[in-house]
Structure formats: structure tokens, C-alpha cells
Structure 1
């Protein structure tokens, strides 16, 4: 984060550009006496807006972009008349050709107040005010900390769930300083593999090639401390999905139990039938009830007439 920096040297600007292009996140809050030329030299190559002119006058942030990822899960219910930062003076920001710019907050007339820009693999967030109460009450406003926290969360780079065993992949982990006496090792259940390591700006790269022979979850350790946890899985494209038919299985193991062939019936019913045979008790009960009903109907509706015989006294 750059804050209250009057001028940005050429060397620092170059380092920051490299950092952003490799996936870093840069926040820029210009100072009260900012050297606008040096700010432009930093931000313009990153396709981000840069401060152009200082305007003095009371105004207020007129709105925030609730669709921006920065505000995700910050508000349960957004009020109709929210309390937004008050501004005493601010820098006008240049119009950027970056079509991936994202307004966080804006001034009346949709002028940018705090905006994010995608650059390379990273992000740049530029503010129109300094973190100084002579500019605005943003530093002590209730929105400031949640926004900064969300930007920090969004700056994280999610590691893949797993890497493919045997694939020539580069594994990127947070920067770790090593030396010949403190090597990085991948450890799993007593096994230890030393990967090839290359240091780059803002990250450490591991090259495994075919050094791993088993899938599983490995701890990346530097001495006794765990730096990262990395999972390796089999290559799914190499799985053999061919299978034998039911007749081929029966011919292969003629003395085996019955082969259950896939069909419309559920596996449970197929296994039950295989174990207990075809059960007819339900059918017998149904037939018995039908015959009982028929018998009752015959007795009720087809009675035979009986003749009464008088007995002699």
C-alpha cells in the first residue's frame, strides 16, 4: 500500500509494476503534496487512473457499487439513506482505457472516488483522497476497515485443489527463503522428496517432474515448520474405463456366483433376488384377498332360495 508518499522513484515504480503483473495487489492513496508526474509514471503503464488535479471544496460520496466483490457479505440490509464519507478536497482521476475498472465508491456525477483496476495478474486500487482528515473522513469512517479487509481477502491467490502426478507442472507457493542448510522438502508418512526450487518476485516455484511416485497429501516443510500442504492426484485421462460384458464375465469365471448385469431394476432389488430368489408371497396375499372378496360377493348377491318344511304337531 502506498500512502502519503510525495514522489515515487523510478526504481520503486518498476518493482511495483513487476509485483502487480505477477499477481500482487497495490493500493494507492496520494499524499497532499503528491508529485503527479511520478504517480502517472507508475499508474499509467498499469492501465490504472492516476491523480491529475487537486480540487478543494466540500462534497460527499454519492454512492457505492454494491455489485463490486469488495462489498460482498458486508451488509445484511443496505439502508436507504446511508452515511457515506464526507470530502473536503480530492484529486480528479484520469479516465482509464482499462475496460476492467470497477468503481468502489463515487462522487456526484459518477466521478471516481475509489476504484479498482485489473492489471496483468494483479489488481490496483486508486483513491482520490489521501488518508488524511484534511481530505475526508474516510480513514475513520465505518466503511473503511471492512473495505480494506475485503481487499486483503480478495488479494489471496487460491491454490489448486490438487496437482496431477507425473505432469510437468510448476507449483507456486508463498515466498520462502532457503539456503543449502534449510531446504524445502515434501514429506508424507516418512517419505521425503526435495523438489527443485526457483525464487521469483513474490513467490517460490517448485518443479517436481517425475520425482513423486505416490498420490496423496504432502506437507511442504522447511526444517520443522510446515510452509504449505499440497495434494497430488492421478491423471484422470489415463484411467482405463473399458469393462467386460455380463456374458464375458460369466465365461471368465464360470464357477462364480451370478453376475449382476446393469439394467432398469435397482441394485437393491437385484441383490435381494439373487440372495433369496423370486419371492411370491406378496402375490399370494393379493390373490387370497381377491378370492376372499369374490367369495363374499357370491354369498351376498347369489343366495339360493331355501324352502321351509312344516313339522307335524
Structure 2
């Protein structure tokens, strides 16, 4: 047992007062004369013994009453195992309120967020008037990084609302530690009030400070079902005006109950284009493909919607895409122009092909072409190779058809700078392609099924490549002995397709083979790396777009019906990088504007991590703080204030002292009134 105010124990000296009174009876003896006392002698002896016992009992009761009165002022307590309170210093208390979408669920106390706000107030009321508090939510607002007094804290708690942001425990505890470090010398305690969904926890145990005690208040969410629109993507990366589209939609059942016939509605530019239906077993995902057509050139806004309650934030999925009228390709000739490239793309007006000589390349305009086809490598220079590398690293696609001439220096300049496989020698031994990687994207959708014993291209004069070890290539087509006929290499954000043959019939029959047309079409389609269909609120910090030229007083704007944001735009080799950081807090369609000119649409969706209604038990929570000072409260409907006080100061005994004082005083009264009386 310990005392909060041990200085009061000096008052125990007061207990000497009844003892002194007992030892020195100051009452004056009164003589009573009797004519004959011989008959009273025996009675007097018996009454004297009874009075002595009575006085001793009264002395004990009075001294005990005084002792426990002193104890009551000294505030005795039995300390708890976790010490979270200082009797001499200030407490610095950080309280995190989980205000994510899952906290909108209803229980007996209202919404989980309502209960979290009330619990935060109970925690604060368990501390003293001089203690300081930090309020933290998923929004990570700057105003929540300072410590508040009790009244300011209660006011801030009342303003907490549901947020689209989602954080992990690692992020939350790091933010709390940063705020608590402001109060030096204080006892630091961090509270986390949440339903503790599985997505809140990192994959590994938390590394937290030993000088902060963590207390987790686990709220009790109700059992609910939840279906979410998890993602969506197109089968084709290219969207042509007037052609049909196939959109794949993935729904996810985040609960332990099966859901039957969940309807899906697709709208494009606020016009319904397709509907679908899916049945989902418990804890599974299923996909459906929606078909639609009639798209016009330009940016299109898409929206997928299902009907599912009570959580509705994940029932709507936004996306946007660009329908193109044409795409521009560039052919750089370091050898004689090859008519086969023009012949392939001339049949489709979607492709606009430009040709230039290696010595006349406009380096500043390379980023305008999603695909560059390099015809020959005879006149390759360090400067051109360096520019091509920069182009590829920033997201461009380069298709290299080398010159099969004895001098391989030009080709090796290019391969050395790009970091791909290098040219060892030229072989004139006629051979046929032995293996085709049908799983590669250039063959995706080309064949209904993998052909048996197909007629494969024949190589007559070709490059033998050696492994450089710098950039591992993926074989698209291979010659016997695992020699590369066509390899795919990732360089930075872009792709290099490196051929072993040139664009001549003397080198191979590829230019007249049935594989050539789909190979060139697919490589052009894959080079169209449009902006992603959607971004995630609070997760994506930037996106890339085509080059935007801004005057000195101009700025970009992201705008919807209610919000206007001015992002930071910085030029890059591939175009313009737009930084949004955490400015976007609301899902929906945003217009990207330069002054009043529409540059495109950007779609944002809420983080689907909140959709999974899986929760961690109290034991699981403690396990994430292995070896640290952690206490988990599961208060249900009981007040939390007393539990916090008990955790701070142990079991308080001053109330028991007051009760005992009253008991001793009552016993004294009864003793004086009834002890020793005769009937």
C-alpha cells in the first residue's frame, strides 16, 4: 500500500490525544457518603472492572477513527502493475480516435464513433486539471499535433467526424510519440480507441518507445455483412472511338455469410450502359465482365454501383478513361527505310506513323510518341542512345530492330547504355523459332487458344546475344539453345523490345509472317500507358500526365462539385507530374483544369481496406506489442473512468477509510449508550 499525499501521515500524532486523556483521567473525584458500605463492596469491584473494559474499547475506537481519518487525507492506494501516473509531475496523454468508415456501424451505444468520442471524454476526466492531452484522428491534422488542456480537448473531441482516411497502428503510434515528446519530464500514456480491424495491424510487431505506456480501448462492433466493389479494369488497354469495350468488375464478400444475386450497374457519363449480377460465397471475390459500346472521343467518366447496407462507402466505384481517335508512332531510321512498318499500320487510321533519320531526331519531342521503332543501329551514337534511355526510363516503349552487319559497335553502344543483353556475334545458320511465350502481353487476346504445331518465323541472319547481368529480359520468342529471337526488358518505367533480326527479308521472314501484324499492333497498344483508371484516397501522392505548359501566373486545379484543390505540378521528361499529397479526402470524379480548359478527369475511390470487417481479439492486439507496457480495455457498457483511475493509481482506499471512520464512530455511540447498562 502507498499514499498519494504521505505528508498527511504526520497528523497521526493526533492519535496521542485520546491516549493521554485515557492515561490521565482529569475528572475530579466526587465523594459520596453512605452510612454503611459493607453491602456495596462486592458490587463496586464488579462495576470498576466493567468500566475499565469500556474505557479501553472507547480508546481503541477513537484512536482508530483518528488513524483512518488521517489515512483518508493521505489517499492510500494499492499500486497496479502498470504505472501510468505521477504524483509530482504532469501527465502527457495522447488519445487516438479511429474515425474510419467502419466506425459508422451501429451498436447498443449508437455508432461506434459516438461511443469512441464518449470514451475519450471518460479517459480525460480520469486525469487531473494540470494534465495535457493530444487528440489524434485518421486525418492527421496539424492542429491535432499540439497538447491541449481538458476543456480544449473535450471541445476538439466533439468536432470529430467520420473520415475517408485509413491508418495503420505503426503510423498512429509514431504520430503519438512525436506529440508526446513535446512534454518533457511528463509521464506519457497513449490511448487508442478503435474497433481494431485486421487492416489496422502491420505484418510485424510494432517497435514502440519504452517510456510510453499504451492502453487500447477495444469497442465491440456488431456482426454485419458487407459487399464491396473491389476493383475494375478493361480487357484492352486502348479505347477507340465507336468500338465495343469489355470492363471486368471484381466484387468482394467481406463477411462470413453468402450473398446471392448482387446487382451491378455501370454508368458512363451518367448514362447506364450495362448491368450484371453476381453471387458470392463467404469471404471470396468474384468477377463479371460488362460489355458496352458507343464511346466518343475524349475523356469519359465511369461509375459502378451496388446496393448493400449498412456500410455504403464501398458500394460506388469511380473510374475515368480516355477514348482516343488516333495514336502517333515514331520510326527512327539508321538504315534504309523499311516499307513493312508503314504497310502494317497504314490499314488502320487509328495509327499515325512519322519517320525520321537518326541525325534529325527532335529529342524534345520524343515524349509525344508512346512507341518508338528503331530501324537499324548502324548510325547509333552515344547521344541518341542516351536520349532513348531517358525516354524509356520515363515510361516510353522502344522496339529495336538491329542492323545485321558485321560492325556491331552501334548496337552495343545502345545495349550498353540501356543495360540489356549485348551482341556477341552474327549467325547465318538458318534456324526457326523454337518457343513462343504465349503468356506475354503482346500475344494476349491474339489467339483463342494456344496453337498446336504453329508455323513459326524463320531466321536466316541474326544476332547472337549474351547476358549482360544488368537487366534480366523476359523471352517473347526464342531460338534453339534458348537464344533470344525477341526479348522484353524493363528499363526504368518503360519497356525495350529487342529483336535478333532486322526489318529485311534477308534477315528473316518475320516481316511477311502472320506473327508480325499482331506483334506490331500489340506493342503499339501496350505502349499507351494512360493514366490509371482510378486512384485511392489518402494513398496515391502523385500522378503523371501529358506535358502541361503553365505560364508564370497559371496553376492547375482539381475540382468537383464541392471541392477545389490546387496541386503542385512539376515537369518531367515523360510529361508533367502532379502532386496531390493528402489534399484529396473525398471519393469521386475530379476535373483537371488549366484555367477553364479541361485537361482530363481523375477518379478517386475510398480505401477498400476498411471494407473487410475482420477484427483482432484482445490477445491478438497484445501480441503486436510484444514485451511492451500494454493494457487492453474492453469496457462494453461499463464506465471507463474508474478503470483508468485504477490503472493510473491502483486500487483507491480512501473511500474505505471514510466508511471505517463512520463504523468506528457508530460503534462508539452504541458502546456509550448500551454497554454496561442494567435492565
2 CA distance for matches of 1:225 and 1:5?
A: 42
> In structure 2, how many angstroms separate the alpha carbons of the residues matched to 1:235 and 1:69?
29
Distance in 2, Cα, partners of 1:187 & 1:10:
44
TM-score norm. by structure 2 comes to 0.32
Q: What is the CA-CA distance between 1:45 and the residue it aligns to?
A: 4.1
Match of 2:445 in 1: 73
Is the 1:7–1:34 Cα contact (8 Å) retained in structure 2?
Answer: no
Matches of 1:88 and 1:116, distance apart in 2: 22
8 Å CA contact retained: 1:216, 1:232: yes
Shift of residue 27 of structure 1? 1.5
Name stretches of at least 5 consecutive residues in structure 1 with no aligned partner. Answer: 249-313
1:98, 1:117 within 8 Å by CA — same for their partners in 2?
A: no
The equivalent residue for 2:374 is: 2
Aligned residue number for residue 412 of structure 2: 40
1:216 and 2:216 matched: no
CA distance in 2, matches of 1:99, 1:45: 11
What does residue 93 of structure 1 align with?
465
Offset of residue 238 of structure 1:
9.9
Counterpart position of 1:63: 435
Aligned-partner Cα distance in 2 for 1:110–1:209: 46
Cα distance, 1:99 vs structure 2: 6.9
> What residue number does 1:162 align with?
535
2:475 equivalent to 1:103: yes
Unaligned runs of 5+ in 2: 1-372, 614-634, 639-679
Where does 1:191-270 land on structure 2 (aligned, <5 Å)? 193-209=565-581, 214-222=586-594, 226-233=598-605
Q: Distance between the aligned counterparts of 1:195 and 1:75, measured in 2?
A: 44
- Rounded to whole Å, the distance in 2 between the matches of 1:221 and 1:213 is 19
CA distance in structure 1 between the aligned counterparts of 2:448 and 2:582, rounded to whole angstroms: 50
Give the number of the structure whose alpha-carbon radius of gyration is greater.
2
Structure-2 residue corresponding to 1:116: 488
Q: Distance in 1 between matches of 2:504 and 2:576?
A: 37
Instruction: Give the SS at the match of 2:460.
Output: strand
Q: Which of 121, 140, 143 is the aligned partner of 2:515?
A: 143
CA distance in 2, matches of 1:225, 1:142: 44
8 A Cα contact 2:570 2:578, kept in partner: yes
State the partner residue of 1:14.
386
**Contact 1:50 1:126 (8 Å CA) reproduced:** no
Residue among 465, 475, 498 paired with 1:126: 498
Q: Distance in 2 between matches of 1:212 and 1:10?
A: 43
2:408 & 2:388 partners in 1: Cα distance?
17
Change (3 A) 1:34 1:183: farther
> Could you give the per-residue CA deviations for residues 158-205 of structure 1, whole angstroms, max 9, x where no partner exists?
52622425x781222233344348754323238654432111011311
Instruction: Give yes or no for contact 2:420–2:472 (8 Å, CA) kept in 1.
Output: no
Aligned length, in residue pairs: 245
Q: Deviations over 1:193-220 (max 9, x none)?
A: 4432111011311123465575421121
Relative distance call for 1:102 and 1:209 in structure 2 (3 A) is: closer
Deviates more, 1:143-152 or 1:177-186: 177-186
The normalised TM-score by structure 1 is: 0.65
Question: How many Å separate the matches in 2 of 1:101 and 1:40?
Answer: 16
1:49 aligns to 2:421 (yes or no): yes
Aligned mates of 1:211, 1:99 — CA distance in 2: 37
- Structure 2 residue matching 1:145: 3-state secondary structure: helix
Q: Tell me, yes or no, if the aligned pair for 1:23 and 1:120 is still in contact at 8 Å.
A: yes
Aligned-residue offset at 1:130: 0.8
SS in 1 for 2:522: helix
Inter-CA distance 33–227: structure 2 relative to 1 (3 Å threshold):
farther
Bigger shift: residues 133-142 or 62-71: 62-71
Residues 559 and 593, structure 2, Cα contact 8 Å, conserved in 1: yes
Q: Distance in 2 between matches of 1:27 and 1:34?
A: 21
Q: 1:100 to 1:211 in 2, by over 3 A?
A: same
Judging changes above 3 Å, is the alpha-carbon distance between structure 1 residues 85 and 217 closer, same or farther for their aligned structure 2 residues? same
**Cα drift, residue 146 of structure 1:** 1.3
Q: Distance in 2 between matches of 1:99 and 1:19?
A: 17
Alignment root-mean-square deviation, CA? 3.5
What is the rounded CA distance, in whole Å, between the counterparts of 2:442 and 2:540 in structure 1? 36
| Aligned 8 A contact 2:433 2:459 in 1 | yes
Residue 143 of structure 1: how far off its partner (Å) = 0.9
Supply the distance in 2 between the matched residues of 1:121 and 1:168 (Cα, whole angstroms).
17
- Give the secondary structure class of the aligned counterpart of 2:599: strand
The answer as to whether partners of 2:404 and 2:463 remain within 8 angstroms in 1 is no
Instruction: After TM superposition, give the deviation of residue 128 of structure 1 in Å.
Output: 0.6
